[in-house]
Every structure is written in structure tokens, then in C-alpha cells.
Amino acid sequence: MTNANLWQIGKTSSLVLTLSGVLKDILLVFASMFLFGDPVTLLQAFGYGIALMGLIFYKLGADKLREYLGQGGMKWAEFGQTRPAARKLVIFGLVMVAMFMVLVGLAPKLAPESTAKFTGIGNYIGTKQ
């Protein structure tokens, strides 16, 4: 591990080592959420989102990010002009996914007794049937 860190610092910089540590932490949290069902509060998710946006901003830079956003906006407008029904379906689908995610996130708080039987995959790993 130490040799890998020294190699990374030698090829890039200590800032890249720190940022790769932040990315590793974000990936570990997401893996523990999905595999083991560990709870993450909304504030923690917001903080991880800010950290991820910072990594993307560092990687791309402000000018490249503005260029990509401008291109995306033009493609979205072109998509809306050529296929307005499909664009409305995409928007409707995204709204439904967002509502589903909010409701799933609130489900343990609204009905905790009905979610006790649903556990993460982490409870099944290593257990003998």
C-alpha cells in the first residue's frame, strides 16, 4: 500500500492522492449501503454528493464543465424539438423515479414494523442455510 501511495504521489501529486482517498470513501459508503443495507442520512448523502461534485469539478475544470453543460442543453432542446412526446416521457419517468426514491427512503420511518423483515444482502453473506 505504501509503495502504491508513493508511486501515485510521484506520478501525480499529493492532492490527487487525497482526492482518490475521498473517492474511495464515497465508493465504500455506497457499497455498504447496497450490500449491507447500512442507513445513510439525508445530510450524509448531501455531503457525499458535494464531495463527488468537487471531484468532477477538479477533473474537468470550470471551462470544460460549462462546455459539457452547454452541449447537453443544446442536445436536450434538439431532442425536445424532434421528439416532444419522448421528452415528456423522459421527464415523467425521472419524476416517478425521484418520487419512488423519496418514498423508499421514507418507508422505514413511516412503517418500521413492516420493513423489519427486509434486510440487506449482508445478513445473508456467510450464513449457512
Domain edges within the chain: 1-60, 72-129
Q: What percent of the chain has pLDDT over 70?
A: 78
For residue range 41-66, what is the model confidence (pLDDT) as tens digits? 888 888 888 988 888 888 888 888 88
Amino acid at 83: R
In this prediction, residues 73-102 reach a mean pLDDT of 92
Indicate left, alpha or beta for 66 from its phi (over 0: left) and psi (-120 to 50: alpha).
alpha
Question: What DSSP character marks residue 112?
Answer: T
Instruction: Check whether 100 has a pLDDT greater than 70.
Output: yes
Considering Cα of 115, then 121, then 127, then 129, what sign does the dihedral take? positive
For residue range 6-22, what is the model confidence (pLDDT) as tens digits? 776 777 777 777 777 88
Total-model pTM:
0.49
What gap in Å lies between CA 54 and CA 84, rounded to an integer? 34
